[in-house]
Amino acid sequence: MRNEATEDGTRKPPAVRPDEAPEDNSRERDTVRVFNPSTGADHGRLRHSRAVQHLFFSTDEKTLVTVEASNTARTWALDGKGREMATVPHFGFALPRLSNDGKYLVSRADLEHVRVWDARTGQPLSPVLPAVAVGDPSAFAFSRDARRLAFGTTQGTVNVAGLPGGRVIAELSHAGAVSALAFSADGKYLVTGSEDATARILDIDANREIARVAHGAPVRDVSWSADDGARYLATAGGEAGRASLWWPGDLRDEACRRISVAFSDRVWSRYLGSERPVGCPVIGAPSTR
């Protein structure tokens, strides 16, 4: 391995000749080291049985999740030198997901099941979540309060389950693989992104798709504004993004503006799912929100 100087005196990145093996970094692929950038403190070496393929922190940075090549996910408490808390099985390409409070970890436990685990003990929640009937899991998301879990598949299906029981309470379908999921701040709505180039909003309590935004390329990422949930951002592929201002009342107003027939409150409420029926007796009538 060579590290040559350039004409201005700086050093080039290390280069490896074709006949050279990499230096002993290759022996560290089963080890993770965690540092505190503010203090420089070293949390020590976190040893694994196989090469580490992925890792991520909890939102409070107190928990680390690592995924090994041996279809295993591990959780670590970053208190002092780093302490392993739990080991759970994980299969497939969709990464495990940790709830915001660090309490739950979701993974594909085997070829047929998605499971939610206690991230501190590795014990599964009981009863287990439904079998994955069609397609491989492709995206996971927890609501902010960890009372709801959403998972999408490569076949375009989305299921929302209540926790800890695991009963499916809402469903949605895309024409392509589901690539991204995000709950609104209050947990009432789910925005989904898909390879079918659409982002869709699911009203979970009503179990109804209530909005759809078309993109020119597969939607790779979706997110809501942090606090009020009034906006969401759907980022498409091809270096194109779209930010949309959204609120359920805006959808009702837009429906009133576009529909030329004066429906009764009973008919409107069936389609709009509002808590209080909204009628549109006159086209273009001012909103009564």
Gyration radius from the chain CA atoms: 24
Residues 6 and 63 in one domain: yes
DSSP 218: -
Structural domains of the chain, count: 3
Quick: pLDDT tens for 175-210: 999 999 999 888 999 999 999 998 899 999 999 888
pLDDT of residue 111: 74
Residues 266 and 251 in one domain: yes
Closest Cα to residue 157, out of 144, 147, 170, 146?
A: 170
Of 31-45, 48-62, 270-284, which has the strongest mean pLDDT? 48-62
Residues 271 and 181 in one domain: no
* CATH code, domain carrying 229: 2.130.10.10
Q: Alpha-carbon distance 281 to 283, whole Å?
A: 7
> Between 263 and 102, whose confidence is greater?
102
Residues 186 and 86 in one domain: no
DSSP 70: T
DSSP 267: H
What are the structure tokens assigned to 193, written together?
């992104």
Residues 112 and 14 in one domain: yes
**Which of 210, 225, 243 is the endpoint of a domain?**
243
Residues 262 and 274 in one domain: yes
Q: List, edge to edge, every strand of the sheet that includes 97-98.
A: 97-98, 104-108, 114-118
Residues 96 and 148 in one domain: no
Residues 227 and 265 in one domain: no
Residues 236 and 261 in one domain: no
Work out the number of other CB atoms within 10 angstroms of the CB of residue 34.
Answer: 18
**Which of 80, 99, 128 is the endpoint of a domain?**
128
Q: Which range marks the domain in which residue 35 is found?
A: 1-128
Residues 152 and 195 in one domain: yes
Residues 147 and 222 in one domain: yes
Quick: pLDDT tens for 44-56: 788 888 899 899 8
Q: Alpha-carbon distance 9 to 16, whole Å?
A: 20
Q: Alpha-carbon distance 100 to 120, whole Å?
A: 14
Residues 83 and 54 in one domain: yes
**Which of 73, 95, 128 is the endpoint of a domain?**
128
**Confidence class of residue 259 from pLDDT cuts 50, 70 and 90?**
low
